[in-house]
Amino acid sequence: QQQVKQSPQSLIVQKGGISIINCAYENTAFDYFPWYQQFPGKGPALLIAIRPDVSEKKEGRFTISFNKSAKQFSLHIMDSQPGDSATYFCAARGGGATNKLIFGTGTLLAVQP
């Protein structure tokens, strides 16, 4: 019940295309859903996040779509660029003051020029 399932494991997209990464969860107590981006040799960094009372959040080319009834959320990268090539992790927070996050298994995105 504490898992966050992420797919696909890897993704190849052409420059200018749309990248879509999906995550699903079981625990309805999760109250915050961030996406982290990790470049090679670096630690993950927060990219965008959403709370369950909102169905969509957009920041530039990055959009989170959230389906509370299906317990699913996804990251869409519009007009994908080679500089977006990275590993993406979805996550969910179980609540409480410690900000403990449960991470998905990650998606390695390669955007081809």
Partner 1 sequence: DVKVTQSSRYLVKRTGEKVFLECVQDMDHENMFWYRQDPGLGLRLIYFSYDVKMKEKGDIPEGYSVSREKKERFSLILESASTNQTSMYLCASSGSKQGGGELFFGEGSRLTVL
List contacts with partner 1 (CB under 8 A): 2, 6, 9, 32, 34, 36, 41-46, 49, 89, 93, 97-106
Non-local (6+) Cβ contacts of 95 within 8 A are: 29, 30, 31
Q: Pairing between strand 101-103 and 86-93?
A: antiparallel
Residue 20 vs 108, nearer CB to partner 1:
108
Residue 17 vs 48, nearer CB to partner 1:
48
Which burial class, exposed, middle or buried, applies to 19 when counting CB atoms under 10 A from its CB (0-12, 13-18, 19+)?
buried
Residue 70 vs 100, nearer CB to partner 1:
100
Least distance (Å) from partner 1 to the CB of residue 47?
A: 11
Least distance (Å) from partner 1 to the CB of residue 70?
A: 21
Least distance (Å) from partner 1 to the CB of residue 42?
A: 6
**Positions of E strands within the chain:** 4-7, 10-14, 19-25, 33-38, 45-50, 56-59, 62-67, 72-77, 86-93, 101-103, 107-112
Least distance (Å) from partner 1 to the CB of residue 105?
A: 4
Residue 17 vs 94, nearer CB to partner 1:
94
